[in-house]
Chain A
Amino acid sequence: QVQLQQSGPGLVKPSQTLSLTCAISGDSVSSNSAAWNWIRQSPSRGLEWLGRTYYRSNWYNDYAVSVRSRITIIPDTSKNQFSLQLNSVTPEDTAVYYCGRQVGHYFDCWGQGTLVTVSS
């Protein structure tokens, strides 16, 4: 049974970097059949796919156009986890952030969610 456990701060100051980590159990970040995603949810934007990392003999990333200039998703094979870094945050980045496993084109397992507030 796959489980995803998120960690990271719930408060980030404007212009700083939002950093979250998702620890994986029951699967591997290096899986050849899964991808590891970050998705956020806010009242104004609903659910928004942000990006993913995955391994297919090499590491690859895909990012949403809306955040492409500010986002990095990094796998950590030694800890079997992956991380989100979102730079230059503004109050509009306030949201609940979820990590999720993707198999094919659907998200079959989600983390518990982390509310991140951007405020000084």
Chain B
Amino acid sequence: QSALTQPASVSGSPGQSITISCTGTSSDVGSYNLVSWYQQHPGKAPKFMTYEVSKRPSGVSNRFSGSKSGNMASLTISGLQAEDEADYYCCSYAGSSTWVFGGGTKLTVL
């Protein structure tokens, strides 16, 4: 499977909202509501932020929200804070008990 496509970088000012896109195909993102998003700070392991497109685990701020339309999933972060600066990765179930990640997006808080 090919990696999901994400923009290399996005940026925003504190308090603003940003959206990170994640484009797949009809074989992965488009076929299943099984997209998850991960936040990774430098030198750290990824931390999961949303799952099944739009669900949030306990402990994750409601400033993080996920959505999906067709073959594209999105992560929106509202009320940007300095600590949101990190790399973000999407992941989708790709069928046949396999999973595929996106290439990652670097979020810069200006």
Q: Chain A interface (Cβ within 8 Å of chain B)?
A: 39, 45-49, 62, 64-65, 98, 104-108, 110-113
Contact = CB atoms under 8 A, between A and B. Distances in A.
Contacts of B99: 49, 105
Give chain A's interface secondary structure class: strand
B101 A46 contact: yes
Instruction: Kindly list the 8 A-B residue pairs having the minimum CB-CB distance in the complex, ordered from nearest.
Output: A110-B45, A47-B101, A106-B51, A106-B36, A62-B97, A105-B34, A49-B99, A46-B103
Nearest to B96: A62
Contact of A110 (B3, B46, B52): B46
Given A49-B99, A106-B51, 9 more contacts: A39-B101, A46-B89, A46-B101, A46-B104, A49-B98, A104-B52, A105-B99, A107-B38, A110-B45
15 contacts: A39-B101, A45-B3, A46-B3, A46-B101, A47-B38, A47-B46, A49-B98, A104-B34, A104-B51, A104-B52, A105-B52, A106-B34, A110-B47, A111-B45, A112-B45
B101 A62 contact: no
A36 to B, nearest CB: 14
